[in-house]
A and B are shown apart, each in its own frame.
Chain A
Amino acid sequence: MDEPADPPDTRFGRWVRLDGAEPEGVPFTIDGEPAEGRNGDTLLTAILTVRPDLGPLPPDRRVRAGFCLIGLCQDCWVRLEDGRRVRACTTPLEPGMAIRLETSDRAW
């Protein structure tokens, strides 16, 4: 992955959770790094609450972070470790899901 000139602060997610209570955590990984989502999250929610974006996606390698959130713009496709590609905003998070953002742009 190209290093952006001004790397966004990856310690924080782009999105902010609004619910005060801590519902059940759902473990998953991004590029092998462990992360935690919440019960009822979509994949996009889980990723963007811990990361600033989905990385650069083809064809123009523009950095994407979702847009419509209702499954229409297709700006949120990501790759899973098992080779599946999924639309993150309409895919429910499942425990143990392994997301590969680093190679999400390979071979569309």
Chain B
Amino acid sequence: MVKSDPLVVVVGAGPAGMAAARTLVEGGLRPLVLDKQPAPGGRMWQQPAGSRQPCGLPGHDAETAERARKEFLDLAERIDWYPGTTVVDATRGRLWAMGPGGEVDETSWDALLVAAGALDRVVPLPGWTLPGVYTLGGAQTALKALGCAVGRRVGFLGTGPLLWLAAAQHLVAGVEVAVVADTSRWTGAMRALPDLLADRARLALGLRCLRMLRGAGVPIRRGIRAAAIEGGENVTGIALATRRGPRRFACDAVAIGVGLVPQTQLLDLLDAPFDLDAESGVWLPRADRAGRTPVEKVFVAGDGARPLGAAAAALSGERAALAILEDIGRPFDRDRAARLERDLERHVRFARGLARAFPFPAGLEAGIASDTVVCRCEGVAAGAITAAVRAFGCHEVNAVKALTRCGMGRCQGRLCGLAAARIAAVTAGVALAEAGRLRAQAPIEPLPARVRRTAPDAVA
């Protein structure tokens, strides 16, 4: 490598970041790759702890995961790989990251690829802050990577493919599944079928999960209109309002989730623009088909750009890497780029089908009770948001945050930002887009108090 080679930084070593790193190395570059996790793999291909290898879980191909991680680690000589390192701040041309020992270092970059993945989206429900309630992805992570179940009898509540997949995986792992409660209805799935046929393997996986759960006699409730998690000190059950009346299911843990939200805080700090996806109510970073954002030399790939799944994440990581090569004036394979974009189309179609089959339960979010906690970090209830909107006549979510502290806590509104915006919009009687988007602030993750970052000196 020549000293003057441009420095490409990849944030995230999930399927997207790993594919990008490989493609950049093939292009003759030596990328710097950081991930806050101690091992590569991301959500889907996460390294299992110690010797724990879950076997036979539906939708979990341990061999593919292991091969992908090994392929990446084989690159180690040709990339600069920093595991256990969290990127906490970024400006044009620079970023700051906290290493495993809590030290914060600064690096420059000529091109930046944000491949930070997604987080479960949750709708605040009564009782969702009780110990024993986890995100679907959290429960799944415990099972796949930590060798644990988050409880002895787990209820699954929400909507989306992960709801069914996670429930079926728990069943196979020998964990009792109390109930699968989905806000969506079968009719939506029927209408979605043409688009879902775009990925027959994933469709078949979904149907297999459903068959397994049914075969095992797991209670399945669809078309849930309202739900509450019950318990005083701990979770004791789930109460549901179904079309056939109220139902209760006893359990000591609950996994909740209604889809995925891209993790876009770094793009936010770099002033990248976002667009509201009207159907889901999620703000997606603006990018072309190759993953270029309108901000010069800033790229986005994988679930962090748009949640399309692991296979698509790898394709988009590769595509974004080709765009980086192109934009810094390196040779790149145009045909390969076109092929990747075509392949991605299929995943976009499948995702459209999923959105139709498992629509976001906006009614559940809008109909929140005033004493239900929205912001779990600061303990702000829905009523405080409604009151602030009424009293001050404002509905913009960052103003609501300043007034109520909703979204001001340690997670920076990652979990409550969308719900807060919807509550504000509904209260004020304006369109969701009017409530805007909670902006991220540096550092995007809490730093231990003893870390004192040197001020990001005059970076132009």
Interface residues as binary, A68-88 with B (CB distance below 8 Å gives 1, 0 otherwise): 111111110100000111110
Decide: A90 and B377 in contact? CB cutoff 8 A: no
**A64 (CB) vs chain B CBs: closest residue:** B131
A98: Cβ under 8 A from any B Cβ: no
Give the shortest distance, in Å, between B124 (CB) and chain A (any CB). Answer: 12
A72-B86 Cα distance, complex, nearest whole Å = 11
Contact of A14 among B132, B376, B414, B450 (CB under 8 A): B132
> Which residues of A are at the interface with B, using a C-beta cutoff of 8 A?
4-8, 14-19, 21, 23-24, 38-42, 45, 48-49, 52-53, 59-60, 62-75, 77, 83-87, 90, 92, 107-108
Decide: B37 and A71 in contact? CB cutoff 8 A: yes
Decide: B135 and A67 in contact? CB cutoff 8 A: yes
Decide: B445 and A19 in contact? CB cutoff 8 A: no
New A-B contacts (15) at CB < 8 Å, excluding given A38-B50, A45-B49, A68-B138 = A14-B253, A15-B150, A16-B148, A16-B152, A16-B175, A24-B50, A41-B146, A42-B146, A45-B147, A52-B234, A67-B415, A70-B137, A70-B138, A71-B37, A74-B409
Number of interface residues of B (CB under 8 A): 56
Give the shortest distance, in Å, between A39 (CB) and chain B (any CB). Answer: 4
Decide: A73 and B51 in contact? CB cutoff 8 A: no
Question: Assuming the A-B contacts A4-B233, A18-B148, are A59 and B134 also in contact, with contact meaning beta carbons closer than 8 angstroms in the complex?
Answer: no
Residues from chain A with Cβ under 8 Å of B135 in the complex: 67-69, 73
A-facing residues in B21-38 (Cβ within 8 Å): 36-38
B173: Cβ under 8 A from any A Cβ: yes
Residues from chain B with Cβ under 8 Å of A40 in the complex: 48-52, 147
Question: Assuming the A-B contacts A6-B232, A8-B233, A64-B131, are A18 and B147 also in contact, with contact meaning beta carbons closer than 8 angstroms in the complex?
Answer: yes
Residues from chain A with Cβ under 8 Å of B215 in the complex: none
Query: Nearest 8 A-B pairs (CB), nearest first?
Result: A40-B50, A40-B49, A65-B131, A60-B379, A74-B410, A69-B138, A15-B148, A39-B50
A86-B134 Cα distance, complex, nearest whole Å = 20
A84-B100 Cα distance, complex, nearest whole Å = 12
Residues from chain A with Cβ under 8 Å of B377 in the complex: 59, 74-75
**A49 (CB) vs chain B CBs: closest residue:** B148
Residues from chain B with Cβ under 8 Å of A49 in the complex: 148
Contact of B149 among A18, A41, A64, A85 (CB under 8 A): A18
Decide: A90 and B49 in contact? CB cutoff 8 A: no
Decide: B411 and A69 in contact? CB cutoff 8 A: no
Residues from chain B with Cβ under 8 Å of A23 in the complex: 50-52
**B129 (CB) vs chain A CBs: closest residue:** A62
Decide: B51 and A66 in contact? CB cutoff 8 A: no
Residues from chain B with Cβ under 8 Å of A66 in the complex: 134, 138
B171: Cβ under 8 A from any A Cβ: no
**B148 (CB) vs chain A CBs: closest residue:** A15
Question: Assuming the A-B contacts A59-B379, A70-B119, are A14 and B137 also in contact, with contact meaning beta carbons closer than 8 angstroms in the complex?
Answer: no
Residues from chain B with Cβ under 8 Å of A4 in the complex: 233
A71-B52 Cα distance, complex, nearest whole Å = 21
Contact of A74 among B138, B151, B445 (CB under 8 A): B445
Decide: A16 and B131 in contact? CB cutoff 8 A: no
Residues from chain A with Cβ under 8 Å of B52 in the complex: 18-19, 23, 40
Decide: B131 and A53 in contact? CB cutoff 8 A: yes
Interface residues as binary, B367-397 with A (CB distance below 8 Å gives 1, 0 otherwise): 0000000001111000000000000000000
Question: Assuming the A-B contacts A74-B411, A84-B102, are A16 and B149 also in contact, with contact meaning beta carbons closer than 8 angstroms in the complex?
Answer: yes
B449: Cβ under 8 A from any A Cβ: yes
Decide: A85 and B449 in contact? CB cutoff 8 A: yes
Q: Can you show 23 pairs from A to B with CB atoms below 8 A apart?
A: A4-B233, A14-B132, A15-B150, A16-B149, A16-B152, A16-B175, A40-B50, A42-B49, A42-B146, A60-B378, A62-B376, A63-B233, A66-B134, A67-B134, A69-B137, A69-B142, A70-B119, A72-B119, A74-B409, A84-B102, A85-B448, A87-B446, A90-B36
